[in-house]
Amino acid sequence: MDSINHQIQRRHLFQILCISTFVIIIYINIYPLRIQEELRQLNENGKTGSIKDITKNDNYETPKIWRNYCKSSSQNSYIYKSGVLKIQSKPKTNHKPILKFNKNSLFNQNLKFAYKSFSRTSVEISKSCFFADLAEALSNVHGNIVHMVSFDNNYIPDFLNWLIIARFFAVPPIDNILIITTELGVFQFIAKQDIPIVFLNPEDVIKDFNVHKLSSIQRQRHWVLRLITWRIINFLGYDVFSYDLDALPMKNLEKLLRRYPGTDLMAGAVGCVPHALIQRWHFFTLNMGALYLRANTKIDVLWDMVAELTETKTGRGTDQMYINAALYHLNITWKQSLRLSCESSSIRIQNELTKLDSPVESVTPGGLKVVAIPAKMFCRFSCNIRNISQYYIWHNPRKHQERDSTWLVNSDWLNITRQTPKRGLEWVRAITRSSKLTYLAKLYNNEDK
């Protein structure tokens, strides 16, 4: 009897499995069509109910759509003119990118990128829409320094908050901002606000992306794409400041950079990853939340080392892990010997407040100059609003809430966007919580005195 019941149970389970599989197959085939229809209706009606409505797009169709846009123009590969957010009217220098649009140069140098197992080759990248857009955007830069942020649909408010800080709070205001997104819907929305932005179709630079046992493929892909993008920007002949969206630039980092001439790499000395390096260096690892990379042959050596370390990897590891590992393999040493522990947030706060008082300079045997900035200037766990005037970067890891003093986006920014005809930075100003911006400025000035 037990045997018969067992057979019946197995038959029922098999039937349930078959039905579930059928439903999943139907969903996979119908879902892209449903999203595409919603996007069509959204474009026709112009009605939006949420941030996801504004930027909704069919991810299944994005590569095909983008290739069609590329092929439709013999002049460029972008829907809206690519560029960088530059407002200040300073004269353009004679600096020219190394490549301009000489794609053969990229192929001839056989540039090595991180994660060879799934990154595309130099020649494939040089023929991509992203490469053309990026080169075009950089050709609009005043000088040779660009400030880069990248994000997707989940971080539009965070991006807006970062932009408000960068343009309306930082002194002097940050210019030459390179904005990159991996989602076509986000690209279209931001571009329609007359904010220059570059679309990065991940398929332009990576293929067969394979991540094993990771909770967030999106985050892992973000790190991989940043490593590749940083290298392309450097190869094109431009220095890059790169920021996480929660790494708020309270001061313009170009001002800090001028205090350390000849710097090839600058980052905050607040990291605990990779953990093994803290024990070997007796020093903080460098955090990638706010990072400077100078375009020269010395940084090329770093990139080649990153490529070598990730050559056989299939996705595990962050950009922070491999930049620090590359510095270790290039035999960097630190003058200070610190006793550090990263067991808890409270311990990390104490580390930041007590272990390092001023920037530390180090040079590898190959001549790569690295400047590690302490938490008193690039705060992380120890950010304190009372000390706001001393920070260049406010990189508090807590999720931003509207009650936070550094959150300056109006809670009703979506409705404001629908109703206002303003575009560009005027639109950004319209969605800014001006009273909080004023409060933050007063706090900064009073503390500064």
Q: Cα–Cα distance between 125 and 3 in angstroms, integer?
A: 61
**C-beta separation of 124 from 234 below 8 A:** no
The segments of the chain whose pLDDT lies below 70 read 1-109, 209-217, 315, 398-403, 447-449
Q: Is 410 helix (H, G, I), strand (E, B) or coil?
A: coil
Q: What is the pLDDT of residue 298?
A: 97
Q: What is the pLDDT of residue 367?
A: 98
Q: What is the pLDDT of residue 189?
A: 93
Dihedral sign for Cα 105, 109, 112, 116, please: positive
Q: What is the pLDDT of residue 36?
A: 39
Q: What is the pLDDT of residue 434?
A: 95
pTM of the full structure: 0.81
Task: Determine the residue type at 9.
Answer: Q
Contacts of residue 387, defined as CB under 8 A and 6 or more positions apart, other chains included, come to 376, 379, 447
Q: Enumerate the β-bridge partners of residue 285.
A: 271
Q: What is the pLDDT of residue 83?
A: 59
Please choose, from the candidates 376, 120, 178, 362, the residue with its C-alpha nearest in 3D space to the C-alpha of residue 268. Answer: 376
Q: Domain residues of the chain, as ranges? A: 62-448
Please choose, from the candidates 172, 201, 209, the residue with its C-alpha nearest in 3D space to the C-alpha of residue 184. Answer: 201
Q: What is the pLDDT of residue 99?
A: 39
Q: What is the pLDDT of residue 344?
A: 87
Please choose, from the candidates 407, 410, 356, the residue with its C-alpha nearest in 3D space to the C-alpha of residue 385. Answer: 407
- Helix H or strand E encompassing 292: strand 285-293
Q: What is the pLDDT of residue 56?
A: 55
Residue corresponding to tokens 């903080």 = 284
Residue corresponding to tokens 């990730």 = 310
Residue corresponding to tokens 């206002």 = 420
